[in-house]
Amino acid sequence: MSDKIILKERMQDFLEALRKTREVLLPVKEKEFYRLKPFTGAEKLDPQFQNTRLSPKGLVLSESERMFEYRLGKEQGAQIVHEAPADYPPRVVVGIRPCDAKAFALVNRNFDNPEFKDPWWVNRLASLTLVGLGCDEPCSTCFCTSVGCGPFHEEGLDVLLFDVGHDLLARAITEKGERLLMEAGVRQEADDDLKKKAAQLKEKAEKKIRSQVPTDRLKDKKLNDLFNAPFWEDVAFACINCGTCTFLCPTCWCFDIQDEVKKNQGDRIRNWDSCMLPLFTLHASGHNPRTQKAQRVRQRFMHKLKYYVDKYGDGVACVGCGRCVNYCPVNIDIREVAKRMNAL
């Protein structure tokens, strides 16, 4: 780990230098919200940027991933499923928020573990470098510090930027990050004064987080007590069972695999799926174990706040980004649900 300096007035040069060897993605405002867009030379890292509307998970877990292809018919080679050709060009995101970076580390458990290695996930993540931007002004809906994350959390990041005035302090967190800074010609070491400033920024930002969400008692709760808790009908009443929460969420990783055939050409595609939708658990037999919306709402919260907690023993499956709180059309608030579960 080393702390370097990027002069703010040299930020565009830094981005240009990165662009020579890889695609550079930046949060850019389009319509009324931010999204990650390729840097073409003109875009700047916007100081007003809070976070992107959609989480960046789609960079690694594609919304629709063509996994396999095949041909129907009787000729030679038909009826055999091949891996669809894919390339994994190097990419870097500059300005990702620490919560979203931590989400990649969290979801990685599901796709890259001793038991399974998902090649699409593994390859896309390996080709991606994450340069984070610490949050000086967290929103009122952010609750990252309650869920093992924070406005300057480093997990999942390769480099973390601190806005220390005239300069940016660039902290290389991984070897990948060290190499990236080296390649971009960022060599000047930060002095102790700047390092101190960076530490103060972090401390100040953490104190600004207003939402405190208790999750400490979840692991000791009996699973069945939570599952059968009396409040699920009440929590679920307003839910309209859309996929907004799951599709915006940086840690929702569920998918559905579909075959699509056009004439003789077939594709096997992996799409984002959502436990809010009734089709999610529909069995081939026609049976559906979760026909009621309260069951589906419960599943989402139980997965994030109990099943994951029990399975991995490393906290909840949420990074506290607040997207679901801000964009749920009916104001179902995970902070309130966590409180109720924790207090049961």
The 10 Å Cβ neighbour count of residue 201 is 20
Of 116 and 237, nearer to another protein (C-beta) is 237
Span from 11-19, 72-80, 173-181, 266-274 in contact with another protein (CB under 8 A): 266-274
Listed as own residue / partner, the contacts of 225-232 with beta carbons closer than 8 Å and 24 or more positions apart are: 225/344, 226/302, 226/306, 226/341, 226/344, 227/298, 227/302, 229/340, 229/341, 229/344, 231/340, 232/294, 232/297, 232/298
Span from 5-13, 47-55, 92-100, 304-312 in contact with another protein (CB under 8 A): 47-55
- Please report how many Cα atoms fall inside a 13 Å half-sphere around the Cα of residue 306, on the Cβ side: 22
Both tokens of residue 163?
Answer: 């806005």
Give the residues across from 272 on adjacent strands: 255
When binding is defined by CB under 8 A, the residue of 80, 126, 223, 238 that contacts another protein is 238
* Minimum CB distance to another protein, residue 51 (Å): 11
What is the C-alpha separation between 283 and 292, in angstroms, rounded?
15
- Asked if 37 is part of the footprint of another protein (rule: CB under 8 A), the reply reads no
When binding is defined by CB under 8 A, the residue of 160, 321, 332, 338 that contacts another protein is 332
Of 113 and 331, nearer to another protein (C-beta) is 331
What is the C-alpha separation between 198 and 176, in angstroms, rounded?
21
Both tokens of residue 191?
Answer: 């002095």
When binding is defined by CB under 8 A, the residue of 258, 310, 311, 314 that contacts another protein is 258
- Asked if 277 is part of the footprint of another protein (rule: CB under 8 A), the reply reads yes
- Asked if 243 is part of the footprint of another protein (rule: CB under 8 A), the reply reads yes
Count of residues binding another protein (CB under 8 A)? 43
Of 190 and 235, nearer to another protein (C-beta) is 235
What is the C-alpha separation between 268 and 84, in angstroms, rounded?
9
- Asked if 38 is part of the footprint of another protein (rule: CB under 8 A), the reply reads no
Q: In what order do the strands lie in the sheet with 91-96?
A: 2-7, 167-172, 159-163, 128-133, 91-96, 23-30, 33-38
When binding is defined by CB under 8 A, the residue of 256, 265, 310, 314 that contacts another protein is 256
Binding site for another protein (CB under 8 A): 31-33, 48, 50, 53-54, 63-64, 139-141, 237-238, 240-244, 246-248, 256, 258, 260, 269, 271-272, 274, 277-279, 282, 325-327, 329-333, 335-336
